[in-house]
Structure 1
């Protein structure tokens, strides 16, 4: 998820914006519709007044229709009342009272009596028309309004669609702007995997193009530094090997065996040091994973034993022959060889046991616990016993090789047993 953090953030912003806009338009739609219904419902007052006057004065139906026609209102046939009332969409209803003053007479003479009637007016929409249904104690009537139309939401829907379309187009444009960034991230990953010839160049003058072009310039500087470093190390090692070879030959011309042995040991140590430096340079500059292939672990261990020139009895291998691992054969063999050398050199019985613990390769040997944390020993030119014939590069080289294989070196001590693990 973290790899697509920017994309997820933009997508989240799109969703939140869409939901927010939708919620605002939905509330606006309800408010606008309610206001429209309230506005057109005001016409019911005229209808109620005309109908109550018709009932009070007992005018003819022709007169009622004429009065309603002035306001473009038509009386609906009685047969359609139930259909419209049941199938039509109810919009609003309001109750009111009608006061009728009638002249009455009794034994005392004439007097005025107020008759109050309850009137209920309901508004419906049916088949794109507006109807008013007026109910009184003396009867009911359904009236159709020729002018009024149900609420239309098309303009609001058009505006809502336009706003959403603008948001989605903006999101698409943002994604288009982010595409070069995604490509740039992939190129950086390829460069990190060892493809030193990948190009970061990008056209344009925006921020992403500027970053890409700066990366291209930085890549060229790094490549030049690495090429210079490699050339320098190879040249200096080549120049060192020549006098070492000459010195080894010249040693044989010395008069005494003691001097021969002493100088042979010196030049041998120098040659070993140069070889270890060459191997360290290869490991630290390792970027090409194409040399990583699948091998059986027991085959790698056999090669390491031969490289260490150790006695077979000194190395106890307890590993299933079917177990395989994908590695650079020469480097991984060197790492195992160094662990075998250390196990034999520092163990009182000069033996080391190699076995698998889960998916981890373990090297076990008897001896005292390390005096310092493992981190101390994987530094270059660090060794426990200065008298030992070592430059202190063994564990440093093992750690470097394991890191190139995305593994780490670990150490455990239990019951007088040192255990080094390729984790």
Structure 2
């Protein structure tokens, strides 16, 4: 599944990585920008402490203190209940401790001297109901101030920028997906064509790269279909035309008076007829498109049909297969494959006997006694190859078996074990 949709998955991964990366960058930028904003507005506490220090040093009235703070849009919160509520429900933005230095002129018996008083204070910036509050507290100081000018940090601008980038990336990938959709449809059509739907159309009105590929495939399909139709027509006409002279020659042979010549010609025409039939089967197997002819049969019934087709003595074939074993096959072709394996086993075995069994892997096996093959199995699968020319064979038997098995999604295998040749429908 992953391999079939590798391009689509790659695009999705790229989209996910892009969106996650952009989100992470904007999140870090949001946190940094917010902290910088808080640090910037927190510096206003220095103005508050300076005004408050001067008020303490000069012992000015509260009205004067409020007037000095109002210049900077700062107002003292006097309601104790309100300040308590703000302290308990507000959001802490920043807190920082500092020292306040007060200088006063004193006199004693030695004369005038300057007295410096150091007071440890703490400045806290709070956010409550979208307002900024400063709380200056210490040993002899406690003032709660509302800032009318400053507003809490707003993330709207960053959210707007993030949404814009997010939308641009998403739209870009949507456009990529739109461009990939014809490619997905083209893949499905190619799969249909490969499965035998010869009339599927690849033609498209698109003029992009994918459209050009689809139109070229349409041209290639038309050429392939024309070649296949010509090939099928040629082979069928050829085999039809060959059967007529073979039939006439067989009839004329019976008119020969000399038995030796008659038997020789009968054998020749019989072999020619067998060759034509094998060619017909090969043509049928190679052009097999429709799998609806595959039906479920009992394997022993298929083997019985193959033995009848081979016209051999049933005592020469041992069947060790349970009656409930079933196969989903094209009956005529699969029967022909088994018939060829029986013929091959009887022809090349030492005792003219073939045993048909099911192995541990639930595979059909044909066992016969004899010498091990002198060449790899692939040598014998090639058409018109045979090890012993004296045998009555055209070298098409195993080639036909292999072709039939491939049409059934199987392969022909061979193994040799303790004097036994074992051919397997794997």
Q: CA RMSD in A?
A: 1.2
Give, in whole Å, the separation in 2 of the partners of 1:243 and 1:72: 118
Give, in whole Å, the separation in 2 of the partners of 1:19 and 1:188: 36
Q: Is the 8 A contact 1:73 1:146 kept in 2?
A: yes
Q: C-alpha deviations, 1:362-409, integer Å up to 9, x for none?
A: 111111111111111101111121100000110010001101111000
2:29 paired with 1:23: no
Q: Is the 8 A contact 2:100 2:119 kept in 1?
A: yes
Give, in whole Å, the separation in 1 of the partners of 2:310 and 2:388: 20
2:151 paired with 1:132: no
| Structure 1 residue 182 displacement after superposition | 1.0
Q: Where do 5+ consecutive residues of structure 2 fail to align?
A: none
Give, in whole Å, the separation in 1 of the partners of 2:80 and 2:70: 18
Secondary structure in 2 aligned to 1:2? coil
Task: Give the corresponding residue for 1:369.
Answer: 372
Task: Give the corresponding residue for 1:392.
Answer: 395
Task: Give the corresponding residue for 1:35.
Answer: 36
Give, in whole Å, the separation in 1 of the partners of 2:251 and 2:148: 121
Give, in whole Å, the separation in 2 of the partners of 1:72 and 1:106: 43
2:230 paired with 1:225: no
Task: Give the corresponding residue for 2:178.
Answer: 176
Give, in whole Å, the separation in 1 of the partners of 2:195 and 2:334: 19
Task: Give the corresponding residue for 2:254.
Answer: 252
The correspondence for 2:350, drawn from 348, 351, 368, is 348
Q: Is the 8 A contact 1:195 1:288 kept in 2?
A: no
Secondary structure in 2 aligned to 1:124? strand
Give, in whole Å, the separation in 2 of the partners of 1:16 and 1:404: 45
| Structure 1 residue 81 displacement after superposition | 2.7
Give, in whole Å, the separation in 1 of the partners of 2:289 and 2:41: 79
Task: Give the corresponding residue for 2:58.
Answer: 57
Q: Is the 8 A contact 1:368 1:416 kept in 2?
A: yes
| Structure 1 residue 274 displacement after superposition | 1.1
| Structure 1 residue 173 displacement after superposition | 2.0
Q: C-alpha deviations, 1:23-72, integer Å up to 9, x for none?
A: 11001101111121122112111111111111222222222112111211
1:11-410 matches, cutoff 5 A: 11-76=12-77, 77-357=79-359, 358-410=361-413
Secondary structure in 2 aligned to 1:152? coil
Q: How many correspondences in the alignment?
A: 423
Give, in whole Å, the separation in 2 of the partners of 1:50 and 1:375: 102
Q: Is the 8 A contact 1:354 1:362 kept in 2?
A: yes
Secondary structure in 2 aligned to 1:222? helix
Greater Cα shift, 76-85 or 228-237: 76-85
Q: Where do 5+ consecutive residues of structure 1 fail to align?
A: none
With normalisation by structure 1, the TM-score equals: 0.97
Give, in whole Å, the separation in 2 of the partners of 1:169 and 1:328: 52
Q: Is the 8 A contact 2:53 2:102 kept in 1?
A: no
With normalisation by structure 2, the TM-score equals: 0.97
Greater Cα shift, 330-339 or 88-97: 88-97
